[in-house]
Amino acid sequence: MSERPIASRRGFLAASAGFVTIWAGTPAWAAKLIVTPRQSEGPFYPVQIPLDSDNDLVTVAGRPARAAGEIAHVFGRVIDDAGRPVRGAQVEIWQCDAFGQYHHPRDRGGNADPNFQGYGRMAAAEDGGYRFRTIRPVAYPGRAPHIHFAITGPGIARLTTQMYVAGEPLNDRDFLLNNVRDSAARASLVVALEPAPTVEAGARAGTFDIVLGHNTARE
């Protein structure tokens, strides 16, 4: 049985243009603000940005099938360490497919799932909000499941970081995650992806707020 999409692809992208964070739960910025730690970009940032590079990574323009894997919606806001939205921020994500392979020629021949976009980007809304429809990240040799993020924009010193999945046993051994020595900062990179039937049937969702420090988000 095929999965029922939340809406048409066009509808999803249009809704994202004016997105306001709606996922339940207290966002990180409403509590103690912790600046999001930097993480390695890794070797698999796209050599060339794909023609289809929107914020729905589960479907690729011109292909009838959706990506393999469990759909996950990632919501959040880009804010500064005073809780103010960072206007003009562009949010990029990239990750491996459901089989642990990136869309990159250096990753085992570049034979990733052709139905998975692998990379997406969007401009944050006026309130700093962003959203992506992607797949729940999976582990591959040497790494816990993760999604790469990069934040750029006018007056913003590029921040590259990674989001991890709560409850994954490999988190305790992932060298990049555990290089963040401060426990609160490390915890800010770990997101619970909970079942979210009201967002999309069979999907999961979670909130990853990105807090830019004064050396990153410049006026």
pLDDT, tens digit, for every residue of 29-56?
Answer: 444 589 999 999 999 999 999 999 999 9
Q: In the prediction, which pLDDT does 15 show?
A: 47
How much is the mean pLDDT over the chain?
A: 87
Residue 28 backbone dihedrals phi, psi, to 5 degrees: -60, -35
pLDDT, tens digit, for every residue of 101-158?
Answer: 999 998 976 789 999 999 999 999 999 999 999 999 999 999 999 999 999 999 999 9
**CA triple 29-208-168, angle to 5 deg:** 130
Which amino acid appears at position 85 of this protein? Answer: P
pTM (2 decimals)? 0.86
The DSSP element (H or E) to which 184 belongs, if any, is helix 183-187
Q: In the prediction, which pLDDT does 16 show?
A: 52
Which amino acid appears at position 152 of this protein? Answer: T
Q: In the prediction, which pLDDT does 150 show?
A: 98
What is the third-level CATH fold of 9-212? Protocatechuate 3,4-Dioxygenase, subunit A (2.60.130)
* Sheet bearing 146-152, strands edge to edge: 119-123, 90-94, 146-152, 159-165, 190-191
Q: In the prediction, which pLDDT does 24 show?
A: 43
> Beta strand 159-165 with 190-191: parallel, antiparallel or unpaired?
parallel
Asked whether the CA dihedral 10, 147, 201, 69 is positive or negative, the reply is positive
pLDDT band at 214 (very low <50, low <70, confident <90, very high): confident
pLDDT, tens digit, for every residue of 157-168?
Answer: 999 999 999 999
Q: In the prediction, which pLDDT does 19 show?
A: 45
Question: What residues does each domain of the chain span?
Answer: 9-212
Asked whether the CA dihedral 80, 204, 172, 145 is positive or negative, the reply is negative
